[in-house]
């Protein structure tokens, strides 16, 4: 009986162990054949770390290869919240260093994650202080931060890139595909404590971004911005812009707008300050537009410089309105009409030419269409087709009313006079290069169209030289050089469609030296307070910028007092 019971017990125990062994074997077989991929993936995740290898973002240079934007390596702080035990103590230690809100750190550290960013691209000082704390669960990743050494200079051309090195404004955005490069990756091995080892299993190296070379010159840009800033502040203007161009090639040597902003600190900056007014602001040009009427009249051989025009002593009824000049004139030669900026004389010439001819020359000079500058945001401006002109249009459009233009169109138009009659495509990007200096893409001067003959351009040049020497542009005279140009003072439109009597745009377009132009320029000042005439507000800016820039281009030393202005 005892032996029989013992045998049954033994068999029962054996059966239990056999079933257990069978289950174990079955479980092992299941894991081996059905769960191996899943478990291998977990093991790889624990012991392998995939790290993105950041490419070098291309630098941005001026035309003399002076650096305007580059990337600097910095530490970014991350946390492994699951590895941090006393989170409040860690927060207390980080708060005085990071200067962030407690609620922000609490939100980050109390998440159930294996990785979360705490602070990106820290200064070396902050990084060193955190490293000295030696807090378990905190780590650093090397990232690069975009640095703009000249802060405000050329901000509307260069633009900026964001935290992840993606271009958001200006050339940084428009040429991001060249600058950004291609990220690489590597799989690094980790030990049982998840500490990264200096061993990698697989790696694909990043492809660095290409460098961008601008046509702007840092020195010319500084001179232009210095003087623009001066008039913007002294006249308490709403806005202002300036463009300096090589009239023969279309290269932009300087371009600036006010208000502007610091490229290194763009958070909180309004869209209004970021706007590149030189290419995207529409305004009525006023008397600077008279160069089109004058060019058309000479090109069509309808008038000569010495032809006499009756300017009606400053008041002339035509087209259902009374035209006025800023001061009364009687008989003036055609040359004097432009020099003295007579509205009446200009309109009389325009009426003699006819609406179709005026419109044809407006289009030929580039108004009403985009010029194709290699920056985004350019607008086409506005000119009304002849079929939509009213009876008074012929009395308004030739003197710069009833049309909308950009500063870029004005500087391109005056360049037509300066270079002998050719409309050139303006551009700000000289080339795209790799980090060995090899040119990948090169921009070259491009002719849009021939507008007027060389003879007409020379004759208009003499008239515009007279406008500076003896006419309304006398304050644009450049010491040591001749200059040619035209002033403009345009009334702004009110919301009800009438012209304002206290809001103006003062402007000046010109080139120098007049006999062999090295630069063309436009200066616009929006709503200057106090004096508001183009000849007293914008012309002096031209005079100071042109003088210093020509001396610089000729290799002459710029006087110390000029640089200190």
With a CB cutoff of 8 Å and minimum separation 6, the contacts of 18 are none
Helices 407-418 and 454-469 meet at what angle, rounded to 10? Answer: 110
The DSSP line for 370-383 is ----SSTT----B-
Quote the CA–CA distance of 440 and 431 in Å, as a whole number: 7
36-47 vs 2-34: helix crossing angle, rounded to 10: 70
287 is catalytic: yes
Decide: helix, strand or coil at residue 276: coil
At residue 161, the 3 state secondary structure works out as strand
Q: What is the CA radius of gyration of the chain?
A: 35
Residue listed under structure tokens 């998840």: 194
User: What percent of the residues of the chain are helix, what percent strand, and what percent coil, each to the nearest 5?
Assistant: 40, 25, 35
Beta-strand runs (E) in 123-208: 138-147, 184-190, 196-204
Q: What stretches of 340-418 show up as alpha helix (H) in DSSP?
A: 343-353, 355-364, 393-396, 407-418
Dist CA 254 CA 223 (whole Å): 9
Terminal Cα-to-Cα distance of the chain (whole angstroms): 120
120-125: long-range pairs with CB below 8 Å, 24+ = 120/76, 120/77, 120/163, 121/74, 121/75, 121/76, 121/145, 121/163, 122/74, 122/75, 122/76, 122/77, 123/74, 124/74, 124/75
Provide the CB-side half-sphere exposure for 455 (13 A, CA).
7
3-state secondary structure of 150: coil
Residue 283 DSSP label? B
User: 447-450 and 138-147 as β-strands: parallel, antiparallel, unpaired?
Assistant: unpaired
Closest of 229, 128, 213 to residue 178, by C-alpha: 213
Q: Is 134 exposed, middle or buried (0-12, 13-18, 19+ CB in 10 A)?
A: exposed
Please return the burial class of 18, using the count of CB atoms within 10 Å of its CB with bins 0-12, 13-18 and 19+. Answer: exposed
In the set 287, 341, 342, 393, the catalytic residue is 287
CB 97 within 8 A of CB 154: no
Angle at 184 between CA 178 and CA 187, to 5 degrees: 170
Give the active site residues: 287
């Amino acid at each position: 009986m005892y032996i029989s019971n013992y045998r049954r017990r033994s068999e029962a125990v054996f059966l239990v162990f056999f079933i257990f062994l069978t289950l174990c074997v079955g479980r092992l077989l299941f894991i081996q054949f059905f769960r191996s991929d899943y478990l291998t993936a977990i093991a790889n995740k624990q012991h392998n770390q995939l790290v993105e290898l950041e490419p070098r973002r291309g630098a941005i240079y001026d035309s003399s290869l002076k650096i305007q934007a580059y990337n600097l390596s910095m530490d970014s702080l991350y946390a492994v919240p699951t590895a941090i035990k006393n989170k409040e103590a860690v927060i207390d230690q980080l708060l005085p260093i990071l200067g962030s809100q407690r609620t922000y750190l609490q939100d980050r550290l109390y998440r159930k994650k294996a990785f979360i960013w705490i602070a990106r691209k820290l200064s070396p000082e902050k990084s060193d202080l955190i490293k000295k704390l030696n807090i378990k669960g905190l780590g650093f990743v090397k990232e690069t931060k975009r640095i703009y050494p000249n802060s405000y200079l050329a901000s509307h051309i260069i633009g900026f890139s964001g935290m992840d090195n993606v271009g958001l404004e200006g050339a940084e955005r428009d040429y991001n595909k060249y600058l950004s490069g291609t990220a690489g990756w590597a799989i690094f091995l980790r030990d049982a404590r998840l500490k990264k080892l200096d061993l990698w299993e697989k790696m694909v190296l990043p492809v660095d971004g290409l460098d961008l070379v601008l046509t702007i010159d840092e020195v010319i840009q500084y001179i232009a911005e210095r003087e623009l800033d001066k008039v913007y502040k002294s006249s308490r203007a709403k806005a202002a812009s300036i463009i300096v161009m090589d009239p023969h090639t279309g290269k932009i040597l300087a371009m600036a707008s006010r208000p502007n902003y610091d490229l290194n600190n763009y958070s909180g900056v309004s869209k209004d300050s970021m706007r590149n007014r030189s290419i995207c602001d529409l305004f009525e040009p006023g008397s600077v537009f008279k160069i089109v009427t004058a060019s058309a009249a000479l090109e069509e051989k309808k008038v000569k410089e010495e032809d006499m025009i009756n300017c009606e002593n400053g008041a002339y009824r035509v087209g259902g309105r009374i035209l006025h000049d800023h001061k009364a004139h009687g008989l003036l030669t055609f040359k004097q009409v432009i020099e003295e900026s007579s509205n009446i004389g200009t309109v009389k010439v325009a009426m003699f030419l006819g609406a179709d001819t005026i419109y044809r020359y407006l289009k030929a000079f580039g108004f009403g269409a985009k010029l194709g500058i290699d920056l985004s945001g350019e607008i086409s401006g506005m000119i009304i087709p002849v079929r939509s002109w009213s009876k008074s249009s012929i009395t308004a459009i030739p003197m710069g009313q009833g049309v909308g233009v950009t500063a870029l169109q004005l500087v391109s138009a005056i360049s037509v006079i300066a270079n002998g009659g050719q409309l050139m495509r303006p551009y700000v990007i000289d080339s795209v290069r790799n980090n060995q200096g090899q040119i990948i893409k090169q921009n070259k001067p491009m002719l849009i169209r021939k507008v007027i003959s060389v003879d007409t351009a020379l004759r208009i040049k003499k008239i515009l030289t007279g406008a500076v020497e003896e006419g309304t542009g006398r304050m644009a005279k450049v010491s040591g050089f001749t200059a040619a140009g035209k002033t403009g003072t345009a009334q702004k439109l009110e919301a009800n469609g009438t012209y304002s009597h206290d809001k103006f745009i003062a402007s000046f377009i010109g080139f120098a030296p007049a006999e062999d132009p090295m630069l063309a320029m436009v200066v616009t000042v929006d709503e200057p307070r106090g004096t508001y005439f183009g000849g007293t507000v914008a012309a002096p800016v031209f005079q100071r910028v042109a003088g210093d820039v020509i001396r610089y281009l000729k290799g002459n030393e710029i006087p110390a007092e000029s640089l200190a202005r």
